[in-house]
Amino acid sequence: MSDTSILNHLFDRQIVCPVCNSHFKAKTVKSKSPRVISKDSDFFIRYSVVNPYLYDVLICNSCGYAAMKSDFEKLKSHKKELVLSNVTPKWKPREYPYILDEKLAIERYKLALLNAMLIDLPNSTKGMLSLKIAWMYRLLDNDIQETLFLKQALEGFNTAYMTEIFPIYGLQRDSLMYLLGELNRRLGNNQDALQWYSKTIVNTNSSYKIKEMARVGKDLIKTANT
């Protein structure tokens, strides 16, 4: 797709940085533009036309604060001081092109992940950022880096499951139980995967769809072991 046609699916959104009050514009994908091609078993959605994941991170060029769009404005006041003391002194302003690709998206997600670590955001945030980085590496067929960030995602979500209040990034308890099973399966931790899948299936609050996905995961492990 040409640059011009991609730009037709984007619009400028006015953003105010919650840390330093700077005003800036961010390219945002029009809600009707993405077309879903398919969904991977770990909730990754594959799109045609334009990929919203590429534009999911907002970055303030003034202070260096970076976060996913869903989190950007939710920063608690005591965290703002942490950005100014831990992030801003290290920040070097960086201008990005209007049209982003997977490599630039990875750079931006990693910047948001660094922010999350430096200002001690919840484990679920670190987990979701790591998962989205893994997905971008999947699009680039970089298995080594994908695996590395899937491991980080698993670590973050494991802790979040035990310590945070649901829903977590739109995931109810049954969905996160299933995701923990799926990440373990993808990483070759079959025993842990089977335990999480079983928990999902026997949980009376699990939706039919999630139970079916867990059963598919269990079958994949059984098939691989025969």
Cα–Cα distance measured from residue 171 to residue 189, given in angstroms and rounded to the nearest whole number: 22
Final residue in a domain of this structure, among 115, 130, 164:
164
- Domain match, 88 and 200 both: no
- Domain match, 156 and 198 both: no
CB 208 within 8 A of CB 180: no
- Domain match, 160 and 88 both: yes
Count helices and strands in the chain by DSSP H and E runs? 9, 6
Please report, in angstroms and rounded to a whole number, the separation of the first and last CA atoms in the chain: 44
- Domain match, 74 and 112 both: yes
For 177, the domain range is 171-225
- Domain match, 176 and 126 both: no
Predicted pLDDT of residue 4: 76
Our count of domains for the chain comes to 2
Predicted pLDDT of residue 117: 97
- Domain match, 158 and 210 both: no
Final residue in a domain of this structure, among 119, 143, 164:
164
Residues facing 10 on adjacent strands: 29
Q: Helix or strand or coil: residue 207?
A: coil
Final residue in a domain of this structure, among 149, 164, 179:
164
- Domain match, 78 and 1 both: yes
Q: What is the residue-wise DSSP string for 154-179? A: HHHHHHHHHHSPSPBTTB-HHHHHHH
- Domain match, 61 and 17 both: yes
Per-residue pLDDT of the chain (226 residues; tens, 9 = 90+): 677 788 999 999 999 999 999 999 999 999 998 999 999 999 999 999 899 999 999 999 999 999 999 999 999 999 999 999 999 999 999 999 999 999 999 999 999 999 999 999 999 999 999 999 999 999 999 999 999 999 999 999 999 999 999 999 999 999 999 999 999 999 999 999 999 999 999 999 999 999 999 999 999 999 988 7
Predicted pLDDT of residue 187: 98
Residue 103 CB: number of other CB atoms within 10 A? 12
- Domain match, 52 and 97 both: yes
- Domain match, 158 and 175 both: no
Cα–Cα distance measured from residue 226 to residue 88, given in angstroms and rounded to the nearest whole number: 54
- Domain match, 27 and 49 both: yes
- Domain match, 33 and 85 both: yes
Predicted pLDDT of residue 1: 66
